[in-house]
Structure 1
Amino acid sequence: MPHLDHLTVIAPTLREGVDHVRDCLGLDMPFGGRHPEMGTYNHLLRLGGDVFLEVIAVDPEAAQPVHPRWFGLDEAAQVRRDWDAGRRLRTWVAQTPELDAILGRTCPLLGRSRRVSRGDRVWSFGVRDDGALPLDGLAPCLIDWGERGCPAPAMPDLGARLASLVVEHPDPAEVERRYGDLGLTGAITIRAGPRFRYEAVVETPTGIRILS
């Protein structure tokens, strides 16, 4: 069953994203790498076990991909609006070895499988034909890391641990239904709120911090 793999902060620029995480968690995220197929790059922070946090943005030095970028990053104006409105922790990614089968059942909602790479690591990722976030980020993107598995255990350990991931939504029952239909598993708390947003509760060396 698909389960939580990583959280994603979608930033107008990589520096803004890293600065936001530093302000929220008091930690400097190490650089991750570049994704030549998507024209993006990232920083990564291990959150314990096989879970991590990603800050991702368009790589200004990369060539324009022949297809839409993932995470809605081609829509620069919308990324900026979300960022300025405080929607920074925008989505999450679920890991599954059954990527093709699930995408076959849910396409076009969760997209089609695409080959993606970072350095010497290659994996498969569900990307919508328009590059948009599934359900505006409410539904996770899906990933299959392949035989090498999730890279989180090999990341530097800065002492951060994910205590909980919270999704706030005006209709919690609808979120539960959506997640149930997708067979999602993992420790995700769903609660009522005035608008859709995510909040990550993270244990750090300086205490409990909130990332949103």
Structure 2
Amino acid sequence: MTYRIDHLVISASDLEQGKDAMEALLDVEFGPRGVHKDMGTENVLVAMARPDGSDAYLEVIAPDPAAKRPDFPRWFDLDNFGGPPRLTNWVVSCPDLEEAWELAPANVGRIMSFQRGDYAWRMIVPETGVLPFDNCFPALIEWHSPRPVPGLPDPGLALRRLKISHPNPEELREALAPFISAMENVRIVQADTPGMTAEIGTPSGEIWIA
């Protein structure tokens, strides 16, 4: 199967704070606010090209203060997020989510279905809110509708490189081996603290986000 980076996730405690910080850093404007009722979260998006030139996007996401908190942990470990907005996750698109689930680590989560307006998708959501390898393993998504990219602001952002740091890089590389087609310009390095950084081409030049 062919896997591709679908989008990168910037987590924030407050959506407006996260949006303002990323707009200032990248010199862009995000699209309008959206909500995920099942997860009690809200987000904004902006288009971004992948290294191969095809489309992806950048998402800023935060807990929705107006929504009821779900009875299970929110995705991307947002229930435990603190500090300034930062890059926390990457999401990989899959043509067959069941097959991807079989190939992923055992604790990757459960398949859930979502719909928002004209958009419909399924996603593997960890039951703890934390993806394998301390959130360094990607969230896996299967779209059942056109992706949102055509309707997003497109200021000319481009993902150049994604660097993932982890104390056990070899184990992470082994877990990602079935998803090698999504690994274009993705580098995994050893570090004491898990995390990720991305180099983004912007109207103002190359910017690293972390």
TM-score for both structures, normalised by structure 2 = 0.86
CA distance in 1, matches of 2:14, 2:106: 28
Q: What is the rounded CA distance, in whole Å, between the counterparts of 1:101 and 1:172 in structure 2?
A: 24
- Residues in 1 aligned to 2:71 and 2:195: alpha-carbon distance in whole angstroms: 31
Alignment-derived partner of residue 11 in structure 1: 12
- Aligned mate of 2:175, from 175, 178, 202: 178
Equivalent residue, structure 1, for 2:137: 139
| Correspondent of 2:89 among 80, 91, 95 | 91
| Matches of 1:51 and 1:124, distance apart in 2 | 17
Query: Whole-Å Cα distance in 1 between the matches of residues 120 and 61 of structure 2?
Result: 17
Q: Which residue of 1 is the match for residue 160 of structure 2?
A: 163
**In structure 1, distance between residues paired with 2:93 and 2:44:** 19
Contact 2:29–2:153 (CA under 8 A) maintained in structure 1? no
Partner SS state of residue 74, structure 1 = helix
Report the alpha carbon displacement of residue 160 of structure 1 after superposing the two structures with TM: 1.1
Question: Please, what TM-score do these two structures have when normalized by structure 1?
Answer: 0.85
Aligned AA (2:59): E
57, 60, 65: which one pairs with 1:60? Answer: 65
Q: Is this contact kept in 1: 2:30–2:153, CA < 8 A? A: no
Provide the C-alpha distance between the structure 2 equivalents of 1:94 and 1:163, rounded to a whole number of angstroms: 16
Displacement of 1:50 after TM fit? Answer: 2.0
Richer in helix (by share): 1
TM-fit CA distance, 1:33: 0.8
Map of 2:47 onto structure 1: 46
Question: Aligned residue pairs: how many?
Answer: 204
Q: Quick check: 2:197–2:208 contact (8 Å CA) kept in 1?
A: yes
In the TM superposition, residue 181 of structure 1 has moved relative to its aligned partner by 4.9
Q: Which of these residues, 49, 57, 75, is aligned with residue 70 of structure 1? A: 75
The whole-number CA distance in structure 1 between the counterparts of 2:203 and 2:175 is 35
Residue in structure 2 matched with residue 102 of structure 1 by the alignment: 100
**CA-CA distance at 1:192 after TM superposition:** 4.0
Letter in 2 for 1:124: R
SS of aligned partner of 1:134: coil
Unaligned runs of at least 5 residues, structure 1 = none
Paired residue for 2:148, among 146, 151, 174?
A: 151
Q: Which is further off, 168-177 or 22-31?
A: 168-177
For residue 182 of structure 2, give the secondary structure of its aligned residue in structure 1. Answer: coil
Offset at 1:178?
A: 2.4
Q: Is the 8 A contact 1:36 1:117 kept in 2?
A: no
CA distance in 2, matches of 1:99, 1:175: 20
- The change in CA–CA distance for 1:211 and 1:61 in structure 2 (over 3 A counts) is same
The superposition leaves residues 120-147 of structure 1 with CA deviations (integer Å, 9 ceiling, x where unpaired) of 311101112222233221101100012x
